[in-house]
Amino acid sequence: MGKRPEISESELEIMKVLWAKKRPLSVQDVCDEMIDREWKYSTVATLLGRMVKKGAIAGKKKGYLYYYTPLLDEKEYKIAQAKKFVNKLYAGSVKNLVACLFENQELSDEEIAELRELFDLK
């Protein structure tokens, strides 16, 4: 795959819906899933159109409606964003990120134990 499209926070909210549903969704389907956001139909339609232009999703017309599916893989996207975050704030050091979370007591004992298990698997 070429360069991964950059998506906004609002577009990411829509991507999360598309990833979770694992089936093509219409604008109304997305609106129904995001009822707590109180976005207007036109807002969701505009965001979906932008995402199609960016290459983040595909839109396919069925009858008089368009149905949208993600082109970005969820796991690949999350890995790329995590790397970008670590590079930007921690000079590429995951150790520095974990140390920061540990020092600021952001990790529970259970999370620390889970991290130890992950590191033991490496």
2 pLDDT band (50/70/90 cuts)?
low
> Up-side HSE of residue 48: CA atoms within 13 Å toward CB?
26
79-114 pLDDT, tens digit per residue, is 989 999 989 988 888 888 888 877 877 778 898 888
Domain stop point among 51, 70, 89 = 70
Read off the pTM. 0.80
Q: Are 97 and 89 in contact (CB under 8 A)?
A: yes
122 pLDDT band (50/70/90 cuts)?
low
| Distances in whole angstroms, Cα of residue 41 to Cα of each of 16, 19, 66, 94 | 17, 20, 13, 40
Pair 57, 17 in one domain = yes
Q: What angle do CA 52, 68, 48 make, to 5 degrees?
A: 45
The CATH number given to whatever domain includes residue 45 is 1.10.10.10
Within a domain: residue 2? no
Pair 20, 62 in one domain = yes
Total domain count, the chain: 2
* pLDDT attached to residue 67: 98
Within a domain: residue 3? no
